[in-house]
Structure 1
Amino acid sequence: MQHFSYLTKDEKEEMFYHSPIEFSKHSPLEILAYSLGATLYMPGNRRQISDDLLSGKFIKGKHEGLTSIVLCLEDSIGDDELENAEWNIVHQLQRVHKAINAGVSMEQDLPMVFIRVRTPRQMFLIVERLGEAVELICGFVFPKFSPENGELYLTTLRDLNEREGVCLYGMPILESASVIYREQRDITLMNLKALLDKYHDLILNIRIGGTDFSGLFGLRRNRDTTIYDILVIRDCISDIINLFGRSESDYVISGPVWEYFNGSQRILKPQIRQTPFEQAFGRTGTKLRSQIINRDEDGLIREVLLDKSNGLVGKTIIHPSHIKIVQALNVITLEEHMDACSIMEHEVFTNGVIKSQFSNKMNEIKPHLNWARKILLKSKIYGVLKDGQSFIDLLGDKKEQDLFY
């Protein structure tokens, strides 16, 4: 896999100062944790899962650019459909596995596949039924992860890895009442941190269940509102980042899902400026901007930028139209890359302050060192844009400036 693999060689040379590296489910944990990008959720009872994966539409097609997918057996599946959905996932993945063995498709062309289970027992059932096709999955997603159920999820995962001789990762979702209710949150998060630290080598990503959190208060953000505008959710996200986002913790936290993909009448004015799109694509850029606004994706852009500002990497998505936006916004700008390189180069010899090569800011070596390390890691995975290029250039067929009014 490689982010933006659908671009031609000439397009990559035109856009990137450094192109993204290739990676696979066998890459080191540090690389994989940052590589998920836009993670598409798909109901486990969907009959077209194998067709979707084998058709190539996520590689170079209508929904190109996808690198991770979650097949869901939890909230998207009714209780009466659960067993059928379990078998459907097994049969769909076995079909993909047969196609790879027959040379019809290649494993490196598939996104990383995760399964969102309801119980630890379900993990054993699915792995047992998959047989050799288990090598297609990258891990499991643990919903409503808590100190009460977390230990069993993680011991089950470790047992499966040892028994099957595979490397499966876990992605806990923090979305339960005890995480967000103020009087329970601190002790719950501390207990979760202690638990996850014991299994740190198995944790690929910590995910935040913004929808479940909102539901506990009877709230739902609209298309003009980001998750950070919902005060109780923002407060909880802040505490999650405070504990799991510390440099010494080394956990990667992803952004909550954006729910909207088809627009309707707006109350507030659009949240993205017209000029950057015109500069990138001319009249075509104006049309692209209108399409983004009509699909309510200007709100998604704003929320992803806020995710990034708070140290979150990647995002849960529920519609393929969100793929390119999330991936493109994770690309590193040349200014960020050069600042990070300068900070790392001066780490040994300079403990003070140096001027940015762009002459617009001061870089403090010690305070910015951990930021620089993360930027250089993301530079490898998502690439570095050339000066004058922005994420907008990656959205069209063909700056991350001040987009907001």
Structure 2
Amino acid sequence: MNKTISPWNIGSSLYIPANHPDLTKIIINNKYPTLKSIIICLEDAIKSEDILFAKHNLQQTMLQVASFYTNNPSGNQLPLIFVRPRNIAMAKWIITNVDLSYMVGFVLPKFDANCLDDWWQALRTTSLYWMPTLETQDVYNIIKMQQLSDTLNAHPCRDKILVLRIGGNDLMNGLRLRRHRNMTLYDGPIGYLIKMLVTVFAQNNFYLTAPVCEHFSDNDLLRQEVILDINHGLIGKTIIHPSQLTVIDQAYRVSQQEFTEAQQILATTQGVFKVNGSMCEPTTQHRWAADILERAKYFGIY
């Protein structure tokens, strides 16, 4: 699948272990019709003794996906499919042994400057997108993150990077912490890291997605956190349970007021004007306005 995809089309990414016995059915039957993307995981979610079956299951799933599109050329579109390999060696195996026709990209685990060139050599000949995951010790160091941001911005892989993912659980583990079930990520040190990562990567026009909320029994907490994700400039969120999907999709809808203001900011020739009691300044707000219209395109308006 070689087509242009907006970062906003990633939305809520459902992680599914590659050894899930119903993996093919979940995708082919479009079990969650509003789900925008799926990440088939061969990394942390798979025990070493299950890798062989997981790889076989991935092979069979992607063959079935290709068959679905062959037999339904004008039918309903399935979610965007990404695969998270265990390492670079496994990514090379996937490229050689799996039907990539309808795979959109790879999620690159434990990504940092040290492995950039190895990933580039492994993936450069494919048309697949990259979603590098920021979850190593380097993330705690703002200097290293600024260097990585600038390096990626100038690297030939730049056009392949769809979004950067923030690996919350690995970052929490590095601090000997686990998310409190009654608090958002922004109430602890990961909140600082999110602020820092947005600051150093968004200035180079990279988009970032938010970490998972593993306590899926409390949708009120999830709703609070997604609002904070949006306010920090993040454009989607990893989910681990389908019950989280509707909450995230609703939170990402754009208000009619924001939509109208964004339209006027992009359409006006004025230097500054007022709308709904607020100052609008196209010179400094045009990037925000463009994102609002793009967000509305994929999540809707309320």
TM-score (ref. length: structure 2): 0.93
Conserved in 1, the CA contact under 8 Å of 2:107 and 2:133?
A: yes
Is residue 268 of structure 2 the alignment partner of residue 351 of structure 1?
A: no
Residue equivalent to 1:80? 49
Conserved in 1, the CA contact under 8 Å of 2:2 and 2:128?
A: no
Task: Pick the structure with greater CA Rg.
Answer: 1
In structure 1, distance between residues paired with 2:74 and 2:62: 14
2:16 pairs, out of 21, 27, 42, with 42
Deviations along 1:294-332, whole A, 9 cap, x unmatched?
Answer: xx0000000000000010001001001111111121111
Is residue 137 of structure 2 the alignment partner of residue 177 of structure 1?
A: yes
In structure 1, distance between residues paired with 2:219 and 2:2: 33
In structure 2, distance between residues paired with 1:233 and 1:213: 7
Is residue 12 of structure 2 the alignment partner of residue 55 of structure 1?
A: no
Offset, 1:55:
2.1
Moved more, 112-121 or 312-321: 112-121
Offset, 1:123:
1.6
Offset, 1:236:
1.4
Specify the code of the residue in structure 1 equivalent to 2:95: V
1:258 pairs, out of 213, 216, 221, with 213
Where 2:105 maps in the other structure, the secondary structure is strand
1:222 pairs, out of 180, 183, 193, with 180
Q: Which has the higher contact order (CA 8 A, sep 6+)?
A: 1
Specify the code of the residue in structure 1 equivalent to 2:53: N
Residue equivalent to 2:256? 334
Specify the code of the residue in structure 2 equivalent to 1:138: V
In structure 2, distance between residues paired with 1:97 and 1:107: 13
Where 1:239 maps in the other structure, the secondary structure is helix
In structure 2, distance between residues paired with 1:158 and 1:245: 24
Q: Percent identity?
A: 31
In structure 2, distance between residues paired with 1:134 and 1:71: 13
Residue equivalent to 2:150? 194
TM-score (ref. length: structure 1): 0.71
Unaligned runs of 5+ in 1: 1-24, 60-64, 162-166, 263-295, 386-405
Residue equivalent to 1:154? 120
Is residue 287 of structure 2 the alignment partner of residue 370 of structure 1?
A: yes
Offset, 1:107:
6.8
Offset, 1:26:
4.9
Is residue 75 of structure 2 the alignment partner of residue 117 of structure 1?
A: no
Q: 1:6-405, aligned counterparts within 5 Å?
A: 26-29=2-5, 31=6, 33-59=7-33, 65-103=34-72, 108-130=76-98, 133-159=99-125, 161=126, 167-180=127-140, 185-197=141-153, 198=155, 199-230=157-188, 232-246=189-203, 249-262=204-217, 296-346=218-268, 349-352=269-272, 354-356=273-275, 359-385=276-302
In structure 2, distance between residues paired with 1:77 and 1:34: 28
Conserved in 2, the CA contact under 8 Å of 1:67 and 1:112?
A: yes
Conserved in 1, the CA contact under 8 Å of 2:30 and 2:79?
A: no
Conserved in 2, the CA contact under 8 Å of 1:168 and 1:202?
A: yes
Specify the code of the residue in structure 2 equivalent to 1:241: V
In structure 2, distance between residues paired with 1:301 and 1:102: 39
Deviations along 1:306-359, whole A, 9 cap, x unmatched?
Answer: 00001000100100111111112111111001111111122xx3223x111xx3
Q: CA RMSD in A?
A: 1.8
Where 2:288 maps in the other structure, the secondary structure is helix
Pair 1:323–1:169, CA change in 2 (3 A): same
Specify the code of the residue in structure 1 equivalent to 2:274: K
Residue equivalent to 1:271? none
Where 2:271 maps in the other structure, the secondary structure is coil
Offset, 1:97:
2.3
Specify the code of the residue in structure 1 equivalent to 2:206: Y
Unaligned runs of 5+ in 2: none
In structure 1, distance between residues paired with 2:232 and 2:216: 24
Where 1:306 maps in the other structure, the secondary structure is helix
Offset, 1:364:
2.5
Offset, 1:108:
4.5
In structure 1, distance between residues paired with 2:252 and 2:301: 10
Deviations along 1:184-209, whole A, 9 cap, x unmatched?
Answer: x1332133213322121000110001
In structure 1, distance between residues paired with 2:68 and 2:231: 42
Specify the code of the residue in structure 2 equivalent to 1:224: N
Offset, 1:135:
0.8
